[in-house]
């Protein structure tokens, strides 16, 4: 199983090398789009498309609704992980002493 992070293609970086710039939650990365490009179609056609990115490759195209839902879940997982880390690192201060 691989985890893909949703990102939106915002520019073509190098058409010959099949590379595009993808915005993932405000962070821009250059990714390989060979798996999602239509044969014979210009890469400019991909600008604006949403894709799942895994280790530098756009693995599949998704729609905007799926991207938003996935980003929401990933955000919630991140928040839960932060809370769990705080629980394992912290201690609870008692407001009163037990009787």
13-64 pLDDT per residue, tens? 999 999 999 999 899 999 999 999 999 999 999 999 999 999 999 999 999 9
Residue 98 lies in a domain: no
Q: Could you give the number of structural domains in the chain? A: 1
* pLDDT tens per residue, range 62-83: 999 999 999 899 888 887 777 7
Domain extent at residue 64 = 5-89
Residue 99 lies in a domain: no
Residue 64 lies in a domain: yes
List, in order, residues 6 or more apart from 24 with CB less than 8 Å away.
5, 6, 7, 53
Q: Is the pTM value of this prediction over 0.75?
A: yes
Alpha helices for 34-94 (secondary structure H)? 64-89
Residue 75, domain CATH: 2.30.30.140
Residue 96 lies in a domain: no
């Amino acid at each position: 199983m691989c985890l893909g992070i949703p990102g939106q293609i915002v520019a073509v970086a190098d058409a010959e090398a099949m590379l595009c710039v993808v915005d993932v939650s405000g962070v821009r990365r250059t990714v390989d789009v060979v798996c999602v490009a239509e044969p014979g179609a210009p890469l400019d056609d991909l600008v604006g498309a949403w894709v799942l990115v895994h280790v530098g490759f756009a693995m599949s195209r998704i729609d905007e609704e799926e991207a938003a839902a996935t980003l929401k879940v990933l955000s919630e997982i991140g928040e839960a992980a932060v809370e769990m880390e705080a629980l394992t690192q912290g201690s609870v201060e008692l407001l009163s002493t037990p009787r």
